[in-house]
Every structure is written in structure tokens, then in C-alpha cells.
Chain A
């Protein structure tokens, strides 16, 4: 009923169609103009209605019906993006030019594909039931071209002297620094200097490495071939096979530049004099009266980058009341804290480990009355160990031990185990 009312309103606003046709032959120019404008308005409204229904259509058959109506208006089949997306392609190329590769795709897709411009060989490729748009995307990307639907054909534009590709190398050129070192002092202490920023490679380094490693003799500028670094991106102009080799080289460079080490540290409290055999180092470390796990920390930092490992408790205590009678609250950071740098040896069978570890615990907090009010006085145990030595890669090793620690009255030894494994 609502539709009927709406339709009645819609119809009520318009001149009857027949009258618009009649007025086209009117003696008066303004009436002829008005009739033409009326018909144009009807055309626009009719197509807007199709567009809206197409947008709302969920079923494929509904879309097909609307497409058929549009094609009937155009006066024939039209190559649409929808059709390109739904067309499947099976093709395999080896050492072929872009033209030949496109001929193969065209034969499989049965849609005309035109090449504007010229392009050298495309890297070897195989498509199995791939959608035509994805296949075209892949092919054109490799040769720095792009494609469009123009009229009844797909047109591939391979403009310029040589193809161009943009490679994101931000991960290679981004600077990094050591993590801020932990002070290993429960009351904080003076701030430690921040690590220096290091850049694994500059943009210029990456560009030079590529030029000197990939098709060394094929970078003649006179032929339009170039490599340019800009804000974390390499803009490379060269033949498609060279571009494919640049992509593979950059992948290798990423792997080589981002060598990392799996750092696993476990800390135990144990009874004085406890000996640790091979079984303990191999992984059997059950907790019990003689053994208590104090920390398990694991990270995968870059080779040679110092990291901070901690699982701490922060306790705020009112330790002083100043001359104006204001309470001074101090924060104490206790628990295991470590600064570790693992540097892989040249053959990766050993790792040089620099480790400094601190273990602290608030043993008690006494309340003390002063003339300005009550304050808290903590008794804190703190043990710090520094170690720097090579250890075998990939095996658990005892990297430090203290005796006479005061963290636990029954277990007075602290043992630090570490395993440092190159990440493949």
C-alpha cells in the first residue's frame, strides 16, 4: 500500500509520458526544451533506481537480471569488472614476453586483451583457475604495468622505457637501540644512559647492495634503469626478471640483517651445595623443598641487542615526612631483573653472553614513629651478579650462581640457567 501511495505521488509530480513526446514537436522552443529535459530526468531516475537496486541486490541472479537490463540499454554485451572478476584463467608461462603471456591469458579467458606499449620477458608463472583480475594484477605488477577495461577489451598499459616497482624496505632501514637498562637497585638509583640508536642499513646501503648484487651489469641509466631510495621505499626501474631478482634479494637481506637469538633464562633458589647434573640441565627441574623457581623469562631479540628482562613487584612506602610535614612516598622495585646481550659467534655454535642480574626482596617493613608522624622502614635483600663469557649455543648452561642469598631462609643459593639459540 505504501508503495502504491509513493508511486501515486511520483506519478503525480510528473507530466504524463505521452505529453512529453507530444511537446517535443511543439511550435514553442521552450516547450520542446522542457519536454527534452523531462525525458532526460526520467532516464536519470530510471537508471538511478537500477543502480540502487544493484547495490542492494544480494542474490547473483538478481544482479544478473539488472546487468542484462543495463546491457539491453547500452545495446549489447559490455565488458564489466564483474565479468573480469568472475572469469577464470588457467595458463603457464616460461620465458615469455608480456605480449605472449597476455595472449595465453586471453586464450584461456576468451576476453580480448590489448597491450599498449612494450615490455620485455615476464618471470615464469602458472595460473590454475585464477580469477582474471588477479592474474592480470600479478602479471602487470611484475612488469610495472597496469590494466583497465576500455570498451570491449582489457587494455594493459606498459608505459615507460622500463618497468617500475616500489619496494618497502622500512624494516631494513629502521633504526633500533638497546632496551633501556634496568638499574638492578630496588630504590631505582640515578637514571641510566639510554642506548644509542643504530641503523642496520641506510637507504643508500640498500640501493648499493642491490646494484652490486643483482644483475650487476644491467643498471645502465641511459636505458632508463635506476634505483632510488625515498622515505623507506626503493623505487626501482629495470627489466621484469631483474625486478623479480631484486625482490628475492631483498627477502634474503631481511633474513640476514635480522638475525636474532632466542634468549631463555630460568632462575632457581636452591639449598646450599646442591649439585646439578645433566638431567637438571636437560630440563627436569621439578620444584620442591630443595628447589624453587624464581623466574622464567624468554625473548627473541636481535643479535647483539641488549634487552631487559623482569618480573617485578613495585611497592610504595612512606619512608619520610619532610620539614613541611608532607609525606614522601618512595617506590621500591623488587624481584628478578636482568640486562642481557647475546652476540652470536661467527659460526653460530657459540654465543657471547653479557648478563647482569639483580634479585631483591622486601624482607620486612617496620613501622617507626617519628616526631612528624609514622613512617615505613623496609629491610630489603638485594643480590647482583655480572657475567660475561661465551656459552655453547642451544644448550642449557649455568651462567651464574650466588651463595648465601637472603631471599629464602631454607634455600640460600641462586642459580641462573640460560639457553641462547640462534633463530633460523
Chain B
């Protein structure tokens, strides 16, 4: 007998579908065979449990079940404040200001009103209730279909007002200002044919050379940043305790904010900076040598414009940098933005 049980358990591990079906049929057979009403009742409860869970796994909601139940719906994704993520250290030595949180498009009140207006309007009285909890959740007492409707409505609101974005920012070094294949029309949208050219730029050192590329993602209206490079420390002076140092960040930094710009476009504001240390000179004082860096820098200070979704757009062309920068000498900043999901 024990051996048979082991075999059954083994079957459950290897073929859970077959075993569950077999178990369900066995319950059914036992219920049909018994003359004891209580035993039949108990077996039917087990069978109902099986059916209900199987339906849930299949993602089907039973129709006609009007018994209200309590459920919690999380709305924190929609209502959480939008926190900017800047990178101030690249632009200035001054201490970074505290990040600012922006309120999202819809607040709790509006969400509650929209659900009551759209999901079974007129039924939100008496037994059917919706309470806001302090941790951005809705406690709803309603039949299953209303819960499914609410979940669906929250999904739609998330899609309408909280659709994230993803962007790729690439910096190309150009040997001449407008090399063949890299001269977009006045809107700056690079033709799709240039994709192959830019992919080649990653591998080859022709007229177009890929210097840096980044991927970044955020919520609507959220400022996101990225930096790639290194921190160089130099001696800027002396006091009683010894040498005083300063830091310079060398590399590429970008800060990007994206909002909708219509059905197939985004409105972006971006700041991109490229900095390279060409050398560090020294002046000797009585206390010791003081280092003075020579830096080359180009920047798109506050580029702000509308760009089409999913297309590579040339934002700016800057240069020439001195030969010793060994980049470019012309730099092109290319951006592509799309929906995150």
C-alpha cells in the first residue's frame, strides 16, 4: 500500500496535470457512489474547491457569482510621487540640491472617482464599498466581477497616465561635420538606412566613430541621469593641514526628462555634456606644487523639443575639439525614445 502511495506522489511530481485530473475524477466517483448525504456534501466541497482553483489558474472569472468579497487593490504605482534623479556633480562643484518630488497625474481622489464612474456606476452604495488605506491601497468590498473590473480600470489608467519611457543616447565622433549618410533632414530624424551605418560605427574607425552609448528609462515627467567617465583629483592649494584637492569629472553626462508629445511623439528636455582633461600643468609654490587642469568641454545646455517615437534623432552637432582630445573632432548627439512597455 505504501509503495502505491509513493508511486502516486511520484506521478504528481512528474505529471501534475494527469494526477490532478485523476484525483478530481476519484472524488467525483466517490461522491456518486456514496449513499451518505454528509459524505457526498463533504466530497462536493472538495470538488468545488478543485474547480474554483482550476478556473483561477486558467484566468477565468465565474459568471453570476454576486457574493461580495473584500479585496485590496494597490494603486501606489499610479500615485507614488515622481522623484527626479539628476547628476549635479558633473555640472557644478556646489553641493547638490535635494531632489524634488513631483505629484503624478492622478491623485487617489481622482482614481476613486474614475473607478466609481466607470466600473458598475450606481452600484457603489450599501454593501459595495471602497475605502482608501494610508499606504496607497483601495480596500474594496464587492462581487468578483467588480474586482476584476477595478483591476482592469487600474491597468488602463496606468497605461494612460503612467506609461514609462526608455531612451538610448549615443555620442558619435565625426571626422568631418556632415559625413555621407549622416546628414538628416531639417527635423534631425535620421533615415532608417543610417542604422546600418551607425552600427558599423561601433566596430570601425571610419568617418563616424561611436564614442559612448547609454540606455536609460523613467516614468513620465521624471528626470533621469547617467554618467560615464572618471573622477580626476588634483592639488588645488595648501592649508595648515596639508594639500587641498579638487575633483573634476571627465566623461559624458546626460540628464533627460520625457513626457508625451502626442500619440506618436515625445517631448524631451535633455542636457548633455562631454568633458575631457587635456592635461594638468603644475606651478610650484613654497608649500608644494599646485596643479591646474586644462579641460575641453562641449554641452547641449537645455535641449528641449518634440521628437518622433522610436526614431534616431540627431539633437546636435558640436565641435571641433582640439586634436589632443582624440575624439571627433566633431561630436554628434543622437537620441532615440520609445515606450518602456
List the interface of chain A (C-beta within 8 A of B).
3-4, 6-8, 10-11, 14, 16-18, 21, 24-25, 32, 35-36, 39-40, 42-47, 49-54, 65-75, 78-82, 141, 144, 146-153, 157, 159-160, 164-166, 168-171, 174, 176-177, 179-180, 230-233, 235, 247, 250-251, 254-255, 258, 260, 262, 266, 293, 295-302, 305, 307-318, 321, 325-327, 329, 367, 373-376, 394, 421-424
Contact = CB atoms under 8 A, between A and B. Distances in A.
B292 interface: yes
A346 B180 CA distance: 34
B317 A251 contact: no
Interface stretch (B40-48, B131-139, B203-211): B40-48
Contact of A302 (B36, B107, B121, B304): B304
A291 B293 CA distance: 30
B267 interface: yes
B304 A159 contact: no
B164 interface: no
Contacts of B126: none
Contact of B120 (A8, A159, A296, A310): A159
B60 A151 contact: yes
B85 interface: no
A286 to B, nearest CB: 11
Contacts of A168: 105, 160-161, 220, 259-260
Interface residues of B, number: 117
Interface stretch (B14-22, B69-77, B193-201, B223-231): B14-22
Which 3 pairs of residues, A with B, have the shortest CB-CB distance?
A151-B63, A171-B267, A69-B17
B96 interface: no
Interface of B: 1-2, 5-10, 12-14, 16-21, 23-24, 26-27, 30, 34, 36, 38-39, 42-43, 45-46, 49-51, 53-55, 57-64, 103-107, 110, 114, 117-121, 145, 148-149, 152-153, 156-157, 160-161, 177, 186-188, 220-221, 236-239, 259-263, 265-267, 269, 278, 281, 283-287, 290, 292-306, 314-322, 330
Given A159-B118, A311-B298, A171 B20 contact: no
Contacts of A166: 157, 160-161
26 contacts: A4-B6, A32-B38, A36-B45, A46-B19, A46-B50, A69-B17, A72-B24, A73-B51, A82-B58, A141-B156, A149-B61, A151-B64, A171-B306, A230-B105, A232-B221, A233-B106, A247-B263, A262-B187, A297-B316, A301-B304, A314-B296, A318-B292, A327-B236, A329-B237, A373-B284, A374-B285
A314 B294 CA distance: 6
Interface centre among A35, A39, A230, A262 (most CB of B within 10 A): A39
A408 B254 CA distance: 34
B8 to A, nearest CB: 7
Main secondary structure of the interface of A (DSSP, over half): mixed
Given A46-B19, A327-B237, A329-B292, A16 B316 contact: no
Given A43-B23, A164-B118, A311-B319, A423 B187 contact: yes
Given A7-B6, A301-B304, 16 more contacts: A8-B9, A11-B5, A43-B50, A78-B55, A82-B58, A171-B260, A230-B105, A231-B104, A232-B259, A254-B262, A254-B306, A262-B188, A297-B319, A298-B318, A300-B305, A311-B296
Given A3-B13, A8-B6, A50-B17, A313 B294 contact: yes
Given A170-B259, A312-B297, A150 B12 contact: no
B54 to A, nearest CB: 4
Contact of A44 (B53, B61, B296, B300): B53
Contacts of A164: 114, 117-118
Nearest to B263: A251
Contacts of A422: 186
A53 B17 contact: yes
B283 A367 contact: yes
A230 B262 contact: no
B129 to A, nearest CB: 18
Nearest to B24: A73
Main secondary structure of the interface of B (DSSP, over half): mixed
A169 to B, nearest CB: 8
Given A254-B306, A318-B290, A146 B13 contact: no
Contact of A11 (B9, B26, B55, B118): B9
Contacts of A230: 105-106, 110
Contacts of B160: 165-166, 168, 233
A43 B295 contact: no
B16 A233 contact: no
Contacts of A11: 2, 5-6, 8-9
Contacts of A3: 10, 13-14
Contact of A73 (B54, B152, B281): B54
A233 B105 contact: yes
A24 B39 contact: yes
Given A40-B46, A300-B305, A144 B118 contact: yes
Given A16-B1, A25-B39, A296 B177 contact: yes
Nearest to A318: B283
A72 B21 contact: yes
B292 A315 contact: yes
Interface centre among A79, A176, A230, A300 (most CB of B within 10 A): A300
A79 B62 CA distance: 10
A141 B8 CA distance: 49
B261 A313 contact: no
B288 to A, nearest CB: 10
A149 B151 CA distance: 13
Contacts of A325: 286-287
A300 B315 contact: yes
Contacts of B149: 146, 148, 157
A171 to B, nearest CB: 3
Nearest to A376: B283
Given A44-B53, A296-B319, A4 B117 contact: no
Contact of A159 (B57, B119, B287): B119
Contacts of A305: 304
Nearest to B286: A373
A75 B62 contact: no
Nearest to A170: B259
B124 to A, nearest CB: 12
A394 B185 CA distance: 11
Contact of B20 (A50, A159, A312): A50
Given A151-B63, A166-B160, A166-B161, A6 B13 contact: yes
Contact of B10 (A4, A67, A148): A4
A231 B161 CA distance: 10
